[in-house]
Amino acid sequence: MTDTKQSKIQSKIQRKNRQKIMDAALEVFSTYGFRGSTIEQIAKAAEMSKSSVFYYFSSKTEIYVELLSETLQEWLEPLTQLDPKGDPALEIWAYVERKIDLSRLRPRESRLFANEILHGAPNIMDILTGELKDLIDEKCAVIQTWIDQGRLASVSPYHLIFMIWGSTQHYADFEVQVGTLVGDDRDQCFVDAHQTLKTIFLNGLNPLQNQH
């Protein structure tokens, strides 16, 4: 076997092992939080030795920050798709749909992010004050333009986005509570949530229905 081929095989194995650690860490961090998690727990969840984990990552913090960064990028992506040239209500609804889908498909990532925020965001404050704030300011300006044009009900763009976050991420962050109150049929719960949010947002943002 040539050195190049051997190197490619090793690289593939390394990527696989690294992802295995990241997946295990996501489960551990989303369950116990950063402070309550240990490298030992991550290694056990990954079915690897502690030394093997340290081969790929220098510390628990490095794993955690990388997970958070990946999660935040995934969380930001749906908002980047808000198109200033599109129909305002439909653009916002499409964003709500993408957010509820993330809560359905990525509940652990949502809880990981929520835990970080609850502890003051010490590991991602630079992203919150930089990339996130820039994107929110940009998209709120788009929403405000739609409002000024009479194409959306007069609401605070920032609080509209906060409302979207709260009403979608709730289904991931408080999954146990939601399941306890409405039953164990998770798929039906999201179907009902989807329809309820659609009715509220599309009707609530209609400028014709909010004239006094």
pLDDT of residue 184: 80
Q: 35 and 71 share a domain?
A: no
3-state secondary structure of 83: coil
Q: 150 and 122 share a domain?
A: yes
Angle formed at CA 34 by CA 137 and CA 164, multiple of 5 degrees: 30
Q: 116, 164, 121: which is closest to 140 by C-alpha?
A: 164
Number of structural domains in the chain:
2
Q: 78 and 163 share a domain?
A: yes
pLDDT of residue 112: 92
Q: In whole angstroms, give the CA distance from residue 123 to residue 181.
A: 34
Each residue's pLDDT tens digit, 152-162: 999 999 999 99
pLDDT of residue 75: 87
Each residue's pLDDT tens digit, 121-137: 998 899 899 999 999 99
pLDDT of residue 9: 56
pLDDT of residue 187: 94
pLDDT of residue 13: 85
Residues of the chain with pLDDT under 70: 1-10, 209-212
Q: 191 and 150 share a domain?
A: yes
pLDDT of residue 12: 82
Domain limits for position 43: 1-57
State both tokens at 103: 């809560």
Torsion of CA 139, 140, 143, 147, to 10 degrees: -160
Q: Say what the pTM is.
A: 0.86
Q: In whole angstroms, give the CA distance from residue 11 to residue 94.
A: 39
State both tokens at 111: 């809880």
pLDDT of residue 99: 96
Q: How far apart are the first and last CA of the chain?
A: 78
